[in-house]
Amino acid sequence: MIKVSVIGAHGRMGRTVVGAVDSADDMELSQQLDASDSFDLVNSGNTDIAVDFTVPSVTLNNVLELVRRGISVVVGTTGWTDERFEEVRKALAENPGVGVFIAPNFAISAVLADHFAGVAARYFESAEVIELHHPDKVDAPSGTAIHTAHTIADARREAGLGSVPDGTQGGMDSRGEVVDGIHVHAVRLRGLNAHEEVLLGNAGEQLTIRADSFDRGSFMPGVLLAIRNMATGAHSGLIVGLDSFLDL
Amino acid sequence: MIKVSVIGAHGRMGRTVVGAVDSADDMELSQQLDASDSFDLVNSGNTDIAVDFTVPSVTLNNVLELVRRGISVVVGTTGWTDERFEEVRKALAENPGVGVFIAPNFAISAVLADHFAGVAARYFESAEVIELHHPDKVDAPSGTAIHTAHTIADARREAGLGSVPDGTQGGMDSRGEVVDGIHVHAVRLRGLNAHEEVLLGNAGEQLTIRADSFDRGSFMPGVLLAIRNMATGAHSGLIVGLDSFLDL
Amino acid sequence: MIKVSVIGAHGRMGRTVVGAVDSADDMELSQQLDASDSFDLVNSGNTDIAVDFTVPSVTLNNVLELVRRGISVVVGTTGWTDERFEEVRKALAENPGVGVFIAPNFAISAVLADHFAGVAARYFESAEVIELHHPDKVDAPSGTAIHTAHTIADARREAGLGSVPDGTQGGMDSRGEVVDGIHVHAVRLRGLNAHEEVLLGNAGEQLTIRADSFDRGSFMPGVLLAIRNMATGAHSGLIVGLDSFLDL
Amino acid sequence: MIKVSVIGAHGRMGRTVVGAVDSADDMELSQQLDASDSFDLVNSGNTDIAVDFTVPSVTLNNVLELVRRGISVVVGTTGWTDERFEEVRKALAENPGVGVFIAPNFAISAVLADHFAGVAARYFESAEVIELHHPDKVDAPSGTAIHTAHTIADARREAGLGSVPDGTQGGMDSRGEVVDGIHVHAVRLRGLNAHEEVLLGNAGEQLTIRADSFDRGSFMPGVLLAIRNMATGAHSGLIVGLDSFLDL
């Protein structure tokens, strides 16, 4: 049984993590910490892996506290920068055998879609990205869609493909935002959560890769995958991105 | 048997019409005219319905010639204006019992999608349109998508719905062209022909209506439907739009 | 303000209704009854419309109790039969001006998809239905999909269309269940809730109508629509089916 | 310039290949052979690569004739068996440096979809396959869909996943054909050509991979890819499957 403690256990994502760990046959829920709780509650006796789903302003300190206590961490909080990564690496260097895993996206379907887009893009004349989200989202296009556009553009460059064919004259507003040469469209629709569609086309054929995240629960298979991988003890140091634990 | 003559019979659409009429059990292919042929070849003895798929510069004259000969016409050529419609109406007034049917789109799926979008739109908080075409298309968004956006906007106004929810701050390039308050996205992909998707969303639910036109053959069921309706003799005068012959 | 009381207020659907009524600008939440509560709490002074989301074994008695008290009811509980409808009609006959609305499906998207399938089916050579649900569902295909298959079959018969083209020789297992001549496929996939896709095809063209119900919230727009319609007082007697309140 | 000769040049696929080679900037169309033509027309002087799109009854002889003449071949004809492969291998052993490439499917999108299904399947609780074709197809489900079902099943076994969750009681007709534990559904719809959709689901998330082949032209990018790879001279012997030339 992997003993898991959850930091930010009373937030919306934290509660979802608590439920997922509780339901996993190979895991045991240990400590549930909130902002007011001391990290002294967490130690290597009661915790194999800590999971941090808090807020950008505190996550770095949480991770540093846990690393110093010799606890490996799985982090779903956003707001990470190269400077912050560097601080984590320094702390890890002083605590060999401890690992920190940070992922910008825990949805396995989204991570696979991005990867597949990169593999496939070199074989198609055309490529576009449509992302679809709930209408309360403030940024557009989504960070995931921007990442996928770069993934596609990189693959096309490597394969020596030129720019995508586009005979449009005028009316470019409807053609989306051009990210690294790839047209990206953002749909905002009540009822949706977070979705991405990659469209690849050749004469007579189309390949479509679509990732749907219907709710917060969509991140749990990825979170559990990360916990299980970190719990093997085989991964120390700083690891970024769920693709590290996917056999691609 | 309905005797059908085809004007513009050697053009790409004309040839497709010739084939479709030939295959229809209840139709008989009569005359096939090209630009160099005289309209004297077409008369009420050998032709019940003439079909015109030519070019905007000659279609008005073709229609007037046929109407004067007492032949009802089904027209798939584009480029019609209110002035041109008026000239046709004048000629029809002098030839009672003759009918002219003109449609901007003969794809039944596209006409139905537009109609359904109008019926459904009043019941949904959100609505967006995505049109997808081959990359050689010069205009964007497509005329069909613009029409559908207006259909949706009209339905929303009639139902007293306000503007669609959209919390986007910045990055509006990816949010498409706003046509009458409705966001319209245009995808250009090699391998595609002409496609439209209407997305309607409420909390927890989505309705999607999609029309795919894979090739020129997609217009033939609509052309045959128009020929059959005009051949009943029940429709005289000028009739515009395939929805006239659909039981909606 | 429409005063709404909820029967079965502590069940999963009941709680969702309580939340939806609470959020509606034109409604006021009055009584919340559970199995142990007396109907004496509900009267025409504090309640314009009662909503019943309980269980098949008690819903008929609930409705009869409310009708006798002169309260119009919106019912989302399943398990209704012709015999039960008859008992409701009798009670309503003795209480003129009172109305009871019962719907097998409150998802507007699903009701519209079924209606559109019927309108469109007469114009297409081929038609099939795919329904997709979570894997814990015990029946297959879904009642909604069976209903849609009949809707399509009725429209085809009325239009004089014969059977759908199908050249399959052997391997019929993969061709789905044939309901009234229409092939119906049932997909069971973790992560899904309740979804239906109607595919209609002609040479060169396809029309797809898809209804997605992502969660219980998907029924709320339909429940609110029914409450608002019943609250106008214009509808007395027994009314079955959400399409009664849609302008189709 | 790669000099390409086409065997079966007047068949439907052959003509499409002739057109595609003609349009390719780096290829030159050399001989076009039909059933009545002698292989003496093809020699290593005028032909770098021969392409065979004929019929199962003659393709083996064609390939052997070409191999003996020292010409590498790209084969799109079906009907290959282990015995036939063995004959080709023998001929190739006697003609070192010559290569024969045979693919059951030249649609890049279909080959990639199958590959991606195998990579992704190990990370999802549920998986199903829907294939959609024109209604004149006699077999169901398609060979491609059966292959994909095995690909998914292999990946699930390797990952230690058990059977897919399915609570269906009765009504199994609608649940498709179970191929190696995976439910496969076959849709037949006028207007379609050849399409496959792989649906993968976890709690809260879905990954969909869809390959559309709209017409015969969809095989040409794969045929050109094979010609280019064989023309490098780097591939001798017998090579089966387009994935051999994809960087997966």
Q: Which residues face D200 on adjacent strands?
A: D127, D207
Distances (CA, A) of A5 to A107, C40, C45, C80: 21, 49, 53, 48
**Residue of A168, A190, A205 lying closest to B125 (CB–CB):** A190
**Residue of D126, D171, D192 lying closest to C189 (CB–CB):** D126
Report the distance separating Cα D211 and Cα D221, nearest Å.
Answer: 14
Would you call C218 and B204 a contact, using CB atoms and an 8 Å cutoff? yes
pLDDT of residue C170: 81
The pairing of beta strand A237-240 with beta strand A99-102: parallel
Whose CA is closest to C131, among C110, C104, C153, C152? C110
User: Are B77 and B35 a contacting pair, CB within 8 Å?
Assistant: no
| Residue B40: alpha-carbon gap to chain centroid | 29
**Once rounded to an integer, what is the mean pLDDT over residues D168-176?**
91
**Once rounded to an integer, what is the mean pLDDT over residues D195-224?**
96
C193 is in an annotated binding site: no
Q: Is the ipTM of this complex over 0.95?
A: no
Would you call B189 and A128 a contact, using CB atoms and an 8 Å cutoff? yes
Token representation of residue A114:
């991005």
The nearest alpha carbon in chain C to A193 belongs to C214
**Once rounded to an integer, what is the mean pLDDT over residues A141-166?**
97
Q: Is residue C120 very low, low, confident or very high in pLDDT (cuts 50, 70, 90)?
A: very high
Would you call A174 and B190 a contact, using CB atoms and an 8 Å cutoff? no
The pairing of beta strand A72-75 with beta strand A49-52: parallel
* pLDDT for residue D170 is more than 90: no
Report the distance separating Cα B113 and Cα B211, nearest Å.
Answer: 6
The nearest alpha carbon in chain C to B199 belongs to C210
Would you call B200 and C109 a contact, using CB atoms and an 8 Å cutoff? yes
The pairing of beta strand B177-179 with beta strand D126-133: unpaired
* pLDDT for residue C210 is more than 90: yes
CA distance A222 to chain D (A): 9
Which percentage of chain C shows pLDDT scores above 90?
Answer: 94
In sequence order, the 6+-apart residues with CB closer than 8 A to the CB of C35 are C8, C54, C58
pLDDT of residue A59: 96
Mean pLDDT estimate for chain A: 96
- Dump pLDDT digits (tens) for D104-117: 899 999 999 999 99
Would you call A214 and C214 a contact, using CB atoms and an 8 Å cutoff? yes
**Residue of B203, B246, B247 lying closest to C221 (CB–CB):** B203
In sequence order, the 6+-apart residues with CB closer than 8 A to the CB of A185 are A128, A129, A130, A131, A141, A176, A177, B130, B174, B176, B185, B187
Mean pLDDT estimate for chain B: 96
pLDDT of residue C100: 98
* pLDDT for residue B171 is more than 90: no
B24 touches chain C (CB under 8 A): no
Would you call A112 and D122 a contact, using CB atoms and an 8 Å cutoff? no
The model carries a pTM of 0.94
Q: Give the residue numbers of C marked as catalytic.
A: 133, 137
Would you call C139 and D170 a contact, using CB atoms and an 8 Å cutoff? yes
pLDDT of residue A189: 98
Report the distance separating Cα A189 and Cα B185, nearest Å.
Answer: 13
CA distance B211 to chain D (A): 12
**Once rounded to an integer, what is the mean pLDDT over residues B155-180?**
95
Token representation of residue C5:
């009381």
Distances (CA, A) of B207 to A74, A109, A183: 38, 23, 25
Report the distance separating Cα A195 and Cα B140, nearest Å.
Answer: 24
| Annotated binding-site ranges of A for (S)-2,3,4,5-tetrahydrodipicolinate | 134, 143-144
**Residue of C205, C206, C221 lying closest to B202 (CB–CB):** C221
The pairing of beta strand C205-213 with beta strand B205-213: antiparallel
Report the distance separating Cα A25 and Cα A2, nearest Å.
Answer: 10
Q: Given the structure tokens 């004067």, which residue do they identify?
A: B68
Report the distance separating Cα C60 and Cα C91, nearest Å.
Answer: 11
The nearest alpha carbon in chain D to B211 belongs to D191
- Residue A45 has, within 13 A of its CA and on its CB side, a CA count of 2
- Dump pLDDT digits (tens) for A199-238: 999 999 999 999 999 998 999 999 999 999 999 988 999 9
Which percentage of chain C shows pLDDT scores above 70?
Answer: 100
Contacts of B200 in chain A (CB under 8 A): 189
Q: What is the DSSP letter of D197?
A: E
Which percentage of chain A shows pLDDT scores above 70?
Answer: 100
Give kind and range of the element (H or E) at residue D172. Answer: none
Would you call C207 and B247 a contact, using CB atoms and an 8 Å cutoff? no
Q: Is residue D94 very low, low, confident or very high in pLDDT (cuts 50, 70, 90)?
A: very high
Token representation of residue C106:
């409150």
Radius of gyration for chain A, computed over Cα atoms and rounded to the nearest angstrom: 20
pLDDT of residue C39: 94
pLDDT of residue B212: 98
Q: Which residues face C15 on adjacent strands?
A: none
Contacts of C165 in chain D (CB under 8 A): 135-136, 188, 190
Which of A109, A193, A214, A218 has the most C C-beta neighbours within 10 Å, making it the best mutation to test the interface with C? Answer: A214
Q: Is residue A244 very low, low, confident or very high in pLDDT (cuts 50, 70, 90)?
A: very high
Those of residues 79-118 in C touching chain B at CB distance below 8 A are 107-110, 112-113, 116
Would you call D212 and B218 a contact, using CB atoms and an 8 Å cutoff? no
Give kind and range of the element (H or E) at residue B2. Answer: strand B2-7
Q: Is residue C171 very low, low, confident or very high in pLDDT (cuts 50, 70, 90)?
A: confident
- Dump pLDDT digits (tens) for D143-160: 999 999 999 999 999 999
**Once rounded to an integer, what is the mean pLDDT over residues B189-204?**
97
Those of residues 178-237 in B touching chain A at CB distance below 8 A are 178, 183-192, 199-206
* pLDDT for residue B170 is more than 90: no
* pLDDT for residue B27 is more than 90: yes
Contacts of C145 in chain D (CB under 8 A): 174
Report the distance separating Cα D245 and Cα D228, nearest Å.
Answer: 10
Report the distance separating Cα B118 and Cα B182, nearest Å.
Answer: 13
Would you call C165 and D188 a contact, using CB atoms and an 8 Å cutoff? yes
Cis? peptide before B96, omega within 30° of 0: no
**Once rounded to an integer, what is the mean pLDDT over residues C83-92?**
97
Q: How many residues does chain A have?
A: 248
* pLDDT for residue A170 is more than 90: no
CA distance D118 to chain C (A): 17
Q: Is residue A171 very low, low, confident or very high in pLDDT (cuts 50, 70, 90)?
A: confident
Whose CA is closest to B179, among B217, B200, B149? B149
Q: Is residue D178 very low, low, confident or very high in pLDDT (cuts 50, 70, 90)?
A: very high
pLDDT of residue B60: 97
Contacts of D215 in chain B (CB under 8 A): 214-215
Token representation of residue A130:
């449509």
Which of A207, A208, A213, A246 has the most D C-beta neighbours within 10 Å, making it the best mutation to test the interface with D? Answer: A207
CA distance D144 to chain B (A): 21
**Once rounded to an integer, what is the mean pLDDT over residues A101-117?**
96
pLDDT of residue D171: 78
B118 is in an annotated binding site: no
Which of B126, B148, B173, B210 has the most A C-beta neighbours within 10 Å, making it the best mutation to test the interface with A? Answer: B173
D133 is catalytic: yes
Contacts of A213 in chain C (CB under 8 A): none
Contacts of C206 in chain A (CB under 8 A): none
- Dump pLDDT digits (tens) for C15-38: 999 999 999 999 999 999 998 999
Would you call C108 and B119 a contact, using CB atoms and an 8 Å cutoff? no
Q: How far apart are the first and last CA of chain B?
A: 27
Query: Which chains lie within 8 Å of chain C at 3 or more CB pairs, if any?
Result: A, B, D
Side by side, the strands of the sheet bearing D27-33 are: D27-33, D2-7, D49-52, D72-75, D99-102, D237-240
Q: Which of D90, D115, D133, D235 is catalytic?
A: D133
D79 is in an annotated binding site: no
**Residue of B131, B136, B165 lying closest to A190 (CB–CB):** B165
